[in-house]
Amino acid sequence: MSRSERLFDLLDILRRHRFPVSGQSLADELGVSLRTLYRDIATLQAMGARIEGEAGVGYLLEPGFLLPPLSFPVEELEALVLGARLVARSGDNTLRRHAQSALARISATVPVGVQDTMDATPLIVGPGVAIKTVSVDPVLLRKAIRTERKLAIAYCDAKDSASERVIWPFAYAFFDQVHLLVGWCELRDDYRSFRADRLVRVDVLDARYPRRRQALLADWRKRQGIPTSVSC
């Protein structure tokens, strides 16, 4: 979670409480240390949030605080809404939920007239081909990519041949009918793509892989002839 996301979450938590809540409770809910919580409280206070209280007593957000309005051209708003709708169609439940949450946050911080533009955008996502059922948790795959952890996988290819591999995952690609996990395969000593619906088992290993994710992605793009401007 980025710091900006954490500040949003902290505000949301404080808004839910009508009475002072302890710093330790706030820190536990956010999954951060007390020291980090105190810094975040100070940051929000500097931004104008009327947060009453102090360490050892508890904190309470006085009503009326709003973040400064965000400003987006109409085209950018339409792109955000369309992107969220595409995620809702082709992403998993977790991605869908976070896309909807992100739009709700943006809608809450833009002027009322801009909110109407978001709600009335004419860009529509049509029905697509159903995604192949994935038995492993995509959240686990994305977390392994973010934290640069090796994965031990059991995989069944198009010929129903089973194999056990250790890979270094660095990208997750979304296509109309399938999702692909892209990584360096220790068994083949080369880059390989694995269909998510053919992953039988996935275990995240404690070991981090020896190269940085961005370096692997850049090298893979170069070998595949994919321009760096194309998102993966």
CATH class of 3-61: mainly alpha
The whole-number pLDDT of residue 89 equals 74
pTM: 0.62
Task: Note the CATH architecture for domain 138-224.
Answer: Roll (2.30)
Q: Which of 196, 203, 111 is nearest to 165 (CA)?
A: 203
Helix 112-119 to helix 74-90 angle (10° resolution) is 50
The whole-number pLDDT of residue 230 equals 55
The whole-number pLDDT of residue 105 equals 74
Residue-wise pLDDT for 52-96, tens only, equals 887 777 888 887 655 555 567 778 888 888 888 888 777 788 888
Q: Which residues of the chain have pLDDT under 50?
A: none
Question: How deeply is 198 buried, as exposed, middle or buried, from its count of CB atoms within 10 A (0-12, 13-18, 19+)?
Answer: buried
Q: Which amino acid is at 12?
A: D
